[in-house]
Amino acid sequence: MPSPAPDSARIFTPSTSFSYGDDGRRATLSVVEVGEQGLPTGRLVACDPFVYLGTDGAEPFTVEVDPGRYRVDAAVATPVYPSDRPETRRHTRIVVRDVPAVARELALVPGGDPAELGEDEDFGYDVDAGTGCFYDASADGAFPGTEDEEGAVWGVMETAGYGPAVFMAEGDDGHSLAGFASGWGDGCYPTWIGRDASGEVVCFVTDFRVTPRSRPYGLTAVSGL
């Protein structure tokens, strides 16, 4: 059975707080708007842009939305340790309709079969450079040079001093890319689809394992609120 979906309504409510760990840590969530993501084909890709952008390793999710421009938010958790040392972590979502999600499902790429998942496993996308992103499938060739540490995505990183928590990059032909530092660095992280009462898609949420779950921490994602 897949791991439980995150409670996105709670996660994306500013000032929500929670405790975790055995050392007295607490965290408070704030919501930051990353920007507006264009999806001219309605086919969303999520990946680590510094490793998989423009490669065969990044495929769009099988669930599509209407072409358009959609808001991207980051729910930023700031855990405070007993030493009062802050450390930010985040979830991210792309909002298709600004209405509550009443049902959630794993976002899959072609060939993904939830029946193959073991206990507390997910389908996810690999993060090997500490960063995830959303972009439209038609933008695969719109960010040349990324693999050579050049181009629009690297330009944003250099301007921000290497490592902004969230950013928007503008590529060729009007394409855009919403980028965000991953919650706990490198790993494999699932994306969930939220649907409203009529079954329409309302959001995609990448779960960076920040907030507690009803099951123990330490879930596994398989190389997909």
Q: Given this model, what pLDDT does residue 43 score?
A: 96
Confidence of residue 122 (pLDDT cuts 50, 70, 90): low
Confidence of residue 112 (pLDDT cuts 50, 70, 90): confident
Contacts of 152 (CB under 8 A, 6+ apart): 143, 146, 169, 170, 171, 177
Measured distance CA(13)–CA(24) in Å, rounded: 23
The proportion of the chain whose per-residue pLDDT surpasses 90, expressed as a percent, equals 28
Lookup: tokens for 23: 């050392």
Q: Given this model, what pLDDT does residue 164 score?
A: 54
- The b/e string for 142-160 (b: 16+ C-beta within 10 A; e otherwise) is bbeebeeeebbbbebbeee
Q: Given this model, what pLDDT does residue 38 score?
A: 95
pLDDT in tens, 158-194: 665 445 578 899 989 999 999 888 876 788 888 999 9
Residue ranges in 151-193 assigned as alpha helix (H): 152-160
Q: Given this model, what pLDDT does residue 30 score?
A: 82
pTM over 0.85: no
Instruction: Name which of 94, 114, 116, 113 is nearest 193 in CA terms.
Output: 94
